[in-house]
Amino acid sequence: MKRDAPKTAGVGAARPVYYVSDRPEAYEYAGELGRVEAQALARTIADHAAKRFPNIEFRIDSEWHSHDPVLSLVAAYIDSHWQHWATEMADSRQTA
């Protein structure tokens, strides 16, 4: 995923915030995705990551992001899994 223009959680935030982009071009590796598919993939990514990192809040929006170095473990986890989740999502749509 491409990242740029960091966002950070507000002062006094209860837990760190990790932003997941729902822009289709963020997932070009998975092939041509339309807006609806990119939004669904962003939700899937956020859902999987939230299960792995319950102390982090995941938000979805349409911007590019870079992430605070504190969240580098989260970014690495997502980077190493999102393509698999995209494949699972596509497979489940084909069998539905």
Q: How confident is the model at residue 1 (pLDDT cuts 50, 70, 90)?
A: very low
Nearest partner of 55 among 73, 38, 67, 41, judged by Cα: 73
pLDDT in tens, 16-40: 999 999 988 887 765 677 888 889 9
Token pair 């999502």: residue = 89
DSSP string, 23-53: -GGGGGGG----HHHHHHHHHHHHHHHHHH-
| Averaged confidence pLDDT in the chain | 82
Q: How confident is the model at residue 11 (pLDDT cuts 50, 70, 90)?
A: very low
Find the mean pLDDT for residues 49-56. Answer: 96
Nearest partner of 22 among 2, 49, 7, judged by Cα: 2
- 40: number of Cβ within 10 Å: 16
